[in-house]
Amino acid sequence: MSWLKVYIARHLQVFFATLGELVRAPFSNMMTIAVIGIALALPTGLHVLLQNVQQVTAQWDGAAQISLFLHQKTTDKQAEQLAKLIRQRQDVSSVTTIPRAAALEEFRLNSGFGEALDALEDNPFPSVVVVYPTSEADNINAVQAMLKAFGERPEVEHAQLDMQWLKRLYTIMDIGRRGIWVLATLLSISVLLVVGNTIRLAIEARREEIEIIKLIGGTNAFIRRPFLYTGFWYGLSGGILSWLLITSSLWLLSGPINQLATLYDSRYTLAGLDLDSSLALLGASILLGLGGSWLAVTRHLNAIEPQ
């Protein structure tokens, strides 16, 4: 087991030695770390905002309802019978009936045309049955199928559900989701290039040292090790900076958003990065740092041979 102890000791030595090199040149290294952090913060921040939009729209979905306007000849008793029949469906959460007299009175109170309504001989308003789908059936396709089924009933003159705006919103969010993936891919490539170019410059600066190490029998794995750990530190530092940028940005936005939610009598709060998302961000940044350094070392190390 002595060889394992030596192996671990060498890795720990290089691990902390490369960290010390980054600390000794903070300005130049911070520029590279800042580029990585900003590049990762852009798609991650957009992803968090999209998740918050999805959280809000999930609450809107739960408020979906179908309004069934019955024929004028349909009595309130027939409306109650229809409501009782609809309540037996498994995909219906609750059903509310609005009698003709109640609809007339509500319109009288809210419209300001009370005197004009008094001049009418008959009640022009039909009975209305309001259907609330269950959470399991509360999606666009299921609700539209229910709307079609209810609209075909003989008692129903018109079935109404305004879901067009929600379909447009879902389409926009799908476009945004794909756009985030495209942006994340492009910026990940840019991180690989930035790390790779930084490591390439470090290799060129230590070219003579690398030639001497090869002359005395040093392997490519031994020479590659410090550059890989440097890429690791670049990736980890960039991921931490990205997390700080996203968290601080969400903190700045949380106050105005909470005030806006209060004005709409909502308890909504802006959600930030959870533990899984934070670990995924750090893991992706570390992989990008290691990947960029590996590509640079593999390409340029083989081209360096002692003369």
pLDDT for the residue 49: 84
What residues does each domain of the chain span?
A: 2-60+167-301, 65-161
The structure tokens listed for 34 are 């800042």
Confirm if 50 and 180 have CB atoms less than 8 A apart: yes
Q: Phi and psi (nearest 5°) for 92?
A: -115, 130
Cα end-to-end span (Å), the chain: 38
Secondary structure, 3-state, 222-287: HHHHHHHHHHHHHHHHHHHHHHHHHHHHHHHHHHHHHHHHHHCCCCCCCCCCCHHHHHHHHHHHHH
pLDDT for the residue 183: 87
pLDDT digits (tens, 9 = 90+) for 2-40: 767 777 777 777 777 777 777 787 787 888 889 998 998
Q: Is the pLDDT of residue 119 over 60?
A: no
User: Closest Cα to residue 37, out of 303, 281, 299, 304?
Assistant: 281
Q: What does the DSSP 8-state code read for residue 135?
A: S
pLDDT digits (tens, 9 = 90+) for 262-296: 766 667 777 878 888 889 989 999 999 989 889 88
User: Closest Cα to residue 18, out of 241, 240, 231?
Assistant: 231
User: Closest Cα to residue 243, out of 208, 206, 286?
Assistant: 286
How many C-beta neighbours within 10 Å does residue 219 have?
10
Confirm if 239 and 38 have CB atoms less than 8 A apart: no
Q: Is the pLDDT of residue 229 over 70?
A: yes
User: Closest Cα to residue 151, out of 121, 129, 180?
Assistant: 129
How many C-beta neighbours within 10 Å does residue 278 have?
18
What angle (nearest 5°) sits at the alpha carbon of residue 39, between those of residues 34 and 41? 90
Q: DSSP 3-state assignment of 39?
A: helix
Q: Is the pLDDT of residue 113 over 60?
A: no
pLDDT for the residue 142: 75
* Position 242 confidence tier, pLDDT thresholds 50, 70, 90: very high
Query: Could you tell me which CATH class the domain 65-161 is placed in?
Result: alpha beta
Q: Is the pLDDT of residue 244 over 90?
A: yes
Q: Phi and psi (nearest 5°) for 69?
A: -90, 115
Give me the DSSP letters along 140-180.
HHHHHHHHHHHHTSTTEEEEE---HHHHHHHHHHHHHHHHH
